[in-house]
Amino acid sequence: MKNTALTDIHVKAGAKMVPFAGYNMPVQYTGINAEHETVRKAVGVFDVSHMGEFILKGENALDLIQRVTSNDASKLYDGKVQYSCLPNENGGIVDDLLVYRIDEKTYMLVVNASNIEKDWNWISKYNTKGVDMKNISDRTSLLAIQGPKAAEALQTLTEVDLVSMEYYTFKKGTFAGVDNVLISATGYTGAGGFEIYFENQYAEQIWDAIFKAGEPFGIKPIGLGARDTLRLEMGFCLYGNDIDDNTSPLEAGLGWVTKFNKEFTNAEALQAQKQAGVNRKLVGFEMIDRGIPRHDYVIVDADGNTIGKVTSGTQSPSLQKAIGMGYVDTAFAKEGTEIYISIRDNKIKAQIVKPPFYKAL
């Protein structure tokens, strides 16, 4: 089991630690609902140093990224981030990822913790033109500071103007006295905020500085439990739950990051699928009857026929109702359609809704 550079701090803070993607990670500190509310209303800090980071450098770096990712990375400019996915050769997804353009010949890919080795091997297989690839995952720490008060809480720590940063852009600068910190206005919570990347040796210094600066704003450490409820309220996919090696990006509603103006892995088959139409779709749903949907629960129609499967589900802390995502036959994917979740052999009524479930005021 791997530790992050901040594991000891989490343990001292009373976090409940669990194995996650091969790492010893904090799932909660004071409780998932309270931590969830902190991020929605104030500011919270997630240690997400388990994520993977690859640097791709050289004349052919963009060419390699274009061939292995579904989105069009030629649209990136220095300081811009793009959400994308790595299609496999069978119509599924190797992983979803973020692509950072540092300069014309240098890119950083941020991948899911559970897929670091798999993604590295996959991209390496297509690296036929001598792109310099470095896996910097083990020496890189990553904190996500999320919530409406994030910019205000962090601004004293950096000269980078945080308030003016546009969504899905990044800047490099000094942060908490540490040079060359990458500050990114991305997020997985829908609450606004930043993700900051830096070398492991500065982890405790930066963590302590963030909590000192954020104290007047009610800053708290947040575990992976609340990260999951927050992302689900936004309808964001989680690899291994909502997307995997057997789900097409088009089925998953990721057509917007699947661009057919270039050649990429399995592009021809995916384009044919787009023209023919998909047989199933990833949808959001809210429970009408009482019950909490869970991963792998069966979805049925009014007659009890199986029409799909739940991929993610929870009791939404913000909405005070149960919500979920899952794949259903396309005929049942329309907004407003009534479906049923099979919970302990009972048909529990739900309704298809369009994510995000939570809409900030």
Pairing of strands 44-47, 220-221: parallel
Q: What value, to the nearest 5°, has the Cα angle with vertex 179 and ends 213 and 65?
A: 110
Q: Quick one: tokens of 9?
A: 């701090």
Torsion of CA 156, 159, 165, 171, to 10 degrees: -130
Distant-in-sequence, close-in-space partners of 311: CB < 8 Å, separation ≥ 6: 241, 242, 282, 295, 324, 325, 326, 327
Q: What value, to the nearest 5°, has the Cα angle with vertex 44 and ends 41 and 45?
A: 165
If one counts every other C-beta atom within 10 angstroms of the C-beta of residue 316, the result is 20
Task: Judge whether 356 and 341 are in contact, CB under 8 Å.
Answer: no
CA atoms of 149 and 147, how far apart (whole Å) = 5
Q: At what angle do helices 61-68 and 116-126 cross, to 10 degrees?
A: 110
Annotated binding residue 195: yes
Task: Judge whether 358 and 36 are in contact, CB under 8 Å.
Answer: no
Which residue numbers belong to the known binding site? 195
Q: Which segments are annotated as binding site for substrate?
A: 195
